[in-house]
Structure 1
Amino acid sequence: MNWVPLNSKQIRAVSYDPGTQVLHAKFAGRRPVRHVGVPPHIYDNLVETSDPEFYYKYYLEPSRVQTGWWRKANLSSHAVKLLIILVGALVITATALEENGELPIHLSEITEAGTTSPASGQRPAVSPQ
């Protein structure tokens, strides 16, 4: 990969493959970014412009970025994460239920004002209004 240095404080160098239309950009203090589907004239203009940072932000940054190209996530990893979240929600729900399958608070304990009736020195709950 041949890197072309740019006259910029932020963008150190770029590399371009016209066959695949993939552009790589090296930044100061950041990891390189890979852009896909970049036409050759965009690369040529980026290299030749007097303000590469502006050109990059206007023509390349908003689109064509292939994020996470160094490690691709597959569908199974997302499915596992979703399964873990669902199991956690079921565990939380199951622990909130009493042995007979009912919630520990009964509708008869709720007063018309929307708070629970105070029992044995407990403060009344705040109504969610």
Structure 2
Amino acid sequence: MNWVPLNSKQIRAVSYDPETQVLHAKFAGRSSVRHVGVPPHIYDNLVETSDPEFYYKYYLEPSRIESGWQKANLSSHAVKLLIILIGVLAITATALEENGELPIHLSEITETGAISPAPTASPAVSPH
């Protein structure tokens, strides 16, 4: 990997592979950071600019991929899944009747598993 030094206090050097469009950036006092999908002109502009820190923060930092990134991504998915599960449980709980039973009674389910129409109360007929 060929590192190109930058005129910056924070970003020491960058390395770029045009075939895979992967850029690595070395920082002062930190490990290197990898970026994927970086077009060649972005790398060229970063190397040629008079303010590499500004250019990096504006064009590259939002696409940063680090080793800890995947863990944070997985945990955020787990939190979202938990929120969805709580929502489904809340909706199910509101579907329960006040006495804690489902609004569909077992007697309404036919032998085929289909729900039969609820029996309607027949009007009272006078014996006349």
* TM-score in terms of structure 2 length: 0.53
Larger radius of gyration: 2
| 1:49 corresponding residue in structure 2 | 49
Instruction: Give, in whole Å, the separation in 1 of the partners of 2:47 and 2:35.
Output: 15
Runs of 4+ in 1 over 3 A off after TM superposition: none
Alignment RMSD, CA only?
A: 2.3
Aligned to 2:8: 8
1:54 and 1:20 map into 2 onto residues whose CA distance is 24
Shift of 1:9: 0.2
Which residue matches 1:24? 24
* Alignment partners' CA distance in 2, 1:66 and 1:37: 11
For residues 32 and 66 of structure 2, the distance between their equivalents in structure 1, rounded to whole angstroms, comes to 11
Deviation at 1:55, TM superposition (A): 0.1
Instruction: Identify unmatched segments of 5+ residues in structure 1.
Output: 79-129
SS in 2 for 1:30: coil
User: What whole-Å deviation, never above 9, does each CA across 1:25-60 have from its counterpart, x for those lacking one?
Assistant: 000001100000000000000000000000000000
Shift of 1:66: 1.8
1:1-129 superposed matches below 5 A: 1-63=1-63, 65-68=64-67
Which structure has greater helix proportion?
A: 2
Q: Which amino acid aligns with 2:36?
A: V
Deviation at 1:62, TM superposition (A): 1.1
TM-score normalised according to structure 1 size: 0.52
